Amino acid sequence: MHEPHSEQRPYLGYGLGLRPNHYLDILAQRPAVDWFEALTENYLVPGGKPLYFLERVREHYPVVLHGVSLSIGASEPLNLDYLHKVKSLANRIDAAWISDHLCWTGAHGINLHDLMPLPYTEEAIQHVAMRVMQAQDILGRQLLLENVSSYVTYRASQLSEWEFLSAVAEAADCLILLDINNIHVSAFNHGFDPQEYLNGIDPSRVRQFHLAGHQNHGDYIIDTHDEPVIDAVWELYAAALRRCGPVSTMIERDDNIPPLSDLVAELDQARRIGTRILAREDAA
């Protein structure tokens, strides 16, 4: 159902998260990685090593910015100072795009530094969509919003998560960063069918995929990004590719970070799956 190689959707290929302990290896080895995703807040600093290495990496690879502090679903006004700094950083490195999460991160001036889930309600859709539009006006570009892993279901919720995400993207005319691992984690934690989630997302709004590992505690899964991607997530990734077509894909690793070569090898698995699925779709 997708339109392969659509000119509407920029496609970067297969990327990795940019992590400080890989800086030197990236510059020395120039690994076969198509692009890097930099964590926005790590580079909202005045200067020094973080910005130095970000710019060196950018000389050789496309870079996208991925934030955790926009707090697009919070009740307090958007932090305009933060948004202007993000815009300035994006301009400085000519970021291919900017993403953050469909969540809130704090109230009363406090930042919990966590991706807190929103209630899936019509009112929340309107509230978040207004703020996305305001953020996009400031940034001067469309924002990508990522689905987060969640561990609770609010009694107030009236919609499924995918209905909520789709409605926000439609109302605000923003794009989606679809985290395949987060769909798996939340499907397990809340008992929904991940394929139903995928089927509920408009492929034309999906600009990027995330892949990651997690910790399974039996009754629930926690999204930890400290392990390799598991088979069930690879399978869901294949299903997402079948639905959406070529979408820029990257692996997130934030803890228990292995050598760069291990992540490049893991990324090759994504590449193999992508090549296989997309060739089949093209042939069809």
Partner 1 sequence: MTPDGLRDLQACFQAHVLHGDDGMLAQVDAGARPSASARLAIYANAYRLRLLEALTTDFPALHTLVGDDVFDQIGRAYIDAYPSTHYSIRYFARNLSTFLAETAPFNATSVLAEMAALEWALTLAFDAADDPVLNEAVLAALPAEAWSGMRLRLHASVQRHDFGWNVAELWSAIDQQQPPEPPAAYPEQRAWLIWRRALQTYFRPVDATEAWALDYLHTGADFAALCDGLCAHVEPSQVGLLAASYLKGWIQAGLIAEIFC
Q: Using DSSP, state whether 215 is helix, strand or coil.
A: strand
Binding residues for partner 1 restricted to 132-161, rule: CB under 8 A: 151-156
Q: What is the spatial distance between Cα 262 and Cα 36, in angstroms, rounded to a whole number?
A: 16
46 binds partner 1 (CB under 8 A): yes
For partner 1, give the closer residue by CB, 152 or 265: 152
Q: Are 180 and 148 in contact (CB under 8 A)?
A: no
CA dihedral angle for residue 269, residue 189, residue 65, residue 278, rounded to 10 degrees? 40
The 85-104 site mask, x for binding partner 1 (CB under 8 A), equals: -------------------x
Site membership for partner 1, residue 269 (CB under 8 A)? no
Start-to-end CA distance of the chain, whole Å, equals 10
Residue reference for tokens 């042939």: 283
Taking the least distance from each CB to partner 1, the nearer of 35 and 164 is 164
> What are the residues facing 17 on neighbouring strands?
37
Write each residue from 215 to 234 as x if it is in contact with partner 1 (CB under 8 A), else as -, in one continuous string.
Answer: ----xx-x------------
Q: Three-class SS of residue 281?
A: helix
What SS3 state is found at 49? helix
Is 78 one of the binding residues for partner 1 (CB under 8 A)?
no
With CB under 8 A as the contact rule, the residue among 12, 57, 124, 174 that binds partner 1 is 124
Q: Which residues bind partner 1 (CB under 8 A)?
A: 41-42, 44-52, 69, 73-75, 79, 82, 104, 106-114, 116, 118-119, 121, 123-124, 127, 151-156, 189-191, 219-220, 222
